[in-house]
């Protein structure tokens, strides 16, 4: 829409092509330079990549890489639930 295209079918095709391209970044590369400069000035405080929480849950700050595979499974009571399999990568 920002490019002046208002044909919804064409926008859907553009979106699908965009999402199929793993090399496309969502943010302009200039953001990386700005972020690094702010880090050097001490204006960005990095949090640890793994943050422990209660009930054995862990928050991980990282990027998902590759495909996300969602699979439906059944428990012993024959109740269905979804499981997501994916890989993450983070800089330490």
What proportions of the chain, in percent to the nearest 5, are helix, strand and coil? 30, 30, 40
The rounded distance, in Å, linking the Cα atoms of 71 and 85 is: 8
| CA-based torsion, 5, 14, 68, 79: positive or negative | positive
For the full predicted model, state whether its pTM sits above 0.85.
no
Is-contact 21 15, C-beta < 8 A? no
Residue 42: per-residue pLDDT: 81
* 8-60 per-position pLDDT tens digit: 888 788 888 777 776 666 667 777 788 788 878 887 776 655 555 667 777 67
pLDDT band at 2 (very low <50, low <70, confident <90, very high): low
């Amino acid at each position: 829409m920002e490019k002046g295209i208002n044909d919804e079918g064409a926008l859907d095709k553009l979106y699908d092509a965009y999402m199929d391209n793993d090399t496309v970044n969502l943010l302009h590369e200039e953001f990386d330079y700005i972020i690094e400069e702010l880090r050097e000035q001490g204006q960005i405080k990095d949090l640890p990549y793994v943050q422990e929480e209660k009930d054995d849950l862990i928050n991980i700050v990282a990027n998902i890489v590759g495909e996300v595979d969602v699979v439906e499974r059944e428990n012993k009571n024959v109740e269905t639930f979804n499981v997501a399999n994916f890989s993450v990568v983070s800089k330490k």
